[in-house]
Amino acid sequence: LVTVNMGKPRFMPSEIPFVPAHGENEDALTHIVLVGLESVPVSCVNMGNPHAVILVDNVETAPVEHWGGAIESHEQFPEQVNVGFLQVEDELSVRLRVFERGVGETQACGTGACAAVVAGVRNGLLKAGMPVRVTLPGGELFISWEEGGDVQMTGPAETVFEGELQYS
């Protein structure tokens, strides 16, 4: 396993970037995004790229394609956004599916896992400072974060290619 310091998360709408609904508090833990007639609460986190995290009861039945596609390119996210669907199993274990901007649903997303755990900690659902197991369709990561600190991501590393370059 390898641990990577993913840096400090950012939350202000201008740092995501995100345009809050009229009258909405800029430093709210969650913001409302309208998807058709549905009000969807999202937690916005920038981990070097923008993320909107949605708490769901079950990632298997979550409307990943519908909400993911609609929120990814929603006018409130002027540079588009990755959309994470977070199911909390307990304070140290979650399941996650991620709809990445410009791609669709992916098997794994390291920054998405970090954003999801940060959102869970900020909302009092996950244990701060402890490794939280994040189960994604493509495998598991362990993410830890305490308010004000850097996010630490631990996961497997595999060689996927070896090669040689010749310069002439």
What's this model's pTM, rounded to 2 decimal places? 0.93
Check if CATH label 1.10.10.60 holds for domain 2-155.
no
Asked if residue 64 has pLDDT above 90, the reply is yes
CA-CA distance, 29 to 91, in Å (whole number)? Answer: 18
The stretch 123-137 carries a mean pLDDT of 98
Report in angstroms the alpha-carbon separations of 94 from 29, 54, 70, 165: 19, 13, 24, 42
Averaged confidence pLDDT in the chain? 96
CA-CA distance, 138 to 6, in Å (whole number)? Answer: 20
